[in-house]
Amino acid sequence: MNEAENWNYEVTHPLQSWEWGEFRKQKQPISRVNGMLVVWTKVKYTPWCFGYIPMGRWPEEKDIGALEAEGVKMGAIGVRLEPNVFKNDNLIIDERLRKGRHLFKTKTFILDLTLTEEELLKRMHQKGRYNIKIAQKHGVTVREYGSPETFEKYLDLMFSGTAKRQKIYSHGRDYHRLMWKSLKENIAHLFVAEYEKEVIAASIIFKFKEGIYYAYGASALEHKEVMAPTLLLWVAAKWGKNQGCKFFDLWGAEEGKGFSRFKEQFGGKTVELVGSYDLPVNIPLYPLFRLAEEIRWKILRILK
């Protein structure tokens, strides 16, 4: 195996894949430490940075030492880990780790794609099955289609529809374009739902090893009554099953939120990850960084 194949053999999530690292390093420094991808972000107005390991494995003692050494080398205040590991009371938490602020939701929904389509539909909430029928009745069609024009339509839906409606903080168009260019050959797949010959919903699905992941979704402010997003994800689930995948991670759940109620209708199992942990590297500066981080997010919530 070459270096990339060897790396991907060891990791368990697309955000730790070789391709994701190659994508991120076009804009930010990265490190690959003991089988963990670290993305380094400069702390504004300072000479320091902060590391982030998205969806990696749980660190062992030797990993903590290696990450500390890499952090010193990079001039880091700390490193944040959000492991792709289910919450488990038996996990041994190194005393050097501190609870961090999570970027991803700690809970998610997982669909079991080893079930038959009939079993998946049976487990789906009645509302979900009804919404699929509504979309089909209105003549909504779904297909995988990644042309440049269609991708730009996805961006239009993302920034004039979903982001505007949900008031979410999202990466800009250039980020998405670079991500698509970097991952479309083997990880990222674009699905679109069309109604009356117009794309009204689109989703990027990541496929990695035995799973598919609902990475990004966007829909128009209009035609909500035809339930296109529900049919789109159902078609994506069937596609993943036909690809031989064993699970569909709907990627994020939070009680009371609209995006979570949308995903809940598919009847997946709710699972909880271990959450976010920080490894302070610059001990005096770390508390100041956390304080500034909390203030920043409070201001952003007020402005939202």
| Domains of the chain, residue spans | 3-103+273-303, 107-272
Decide if 3-103+273-303 and 107-272 have a common fold.
yes
Residue 108 near residue 266, CB atoms below 8 Å: no
Report, as an integer, the average pLDDT of 20-45: 97
Model confidence over 46-74: pLDDT tens digits?
999 999 999 999 999 999 999 999 999 99
The confidence score (pLDDT) of residue 256 equals 80
Model confidence over 197-225: pLDDT tens digits?
999 999 999 999 999 999 999 999 999 99
Q: In Å, how far are 115, 132, 228, 265, 268 from 128, measured between CA atoms?
A: 17, 6, 12, 5, 12
Q: Which of 127, 256, 151, 270 is nearest to 203 (CA)?
A: 151
| Level-2 CATH architecture, domain 3-103+273-303 | 3-Layer(aba) Sandwich (3.40)
pTM score, whole prediction = 0.94
Residue 169: pLDDT band with limits 50, 70, 90: low
Model confidence over 247-279: pLDDT tens digits?
999 999 988 888 999 999 999 999 999 999 999
Span 107-272: which CATH code? 3.40.630.30
Which tokens is 285 given? 């500066």
- Distance, in Å, from the CA atom of 201 to the CA atom of 195, rounded to the nearest integer, reads 9
Query: DSSP state, 162?
Result: I
- Helix, strand, coil content of the chain in percent (nearest 5): 40, 25, 35
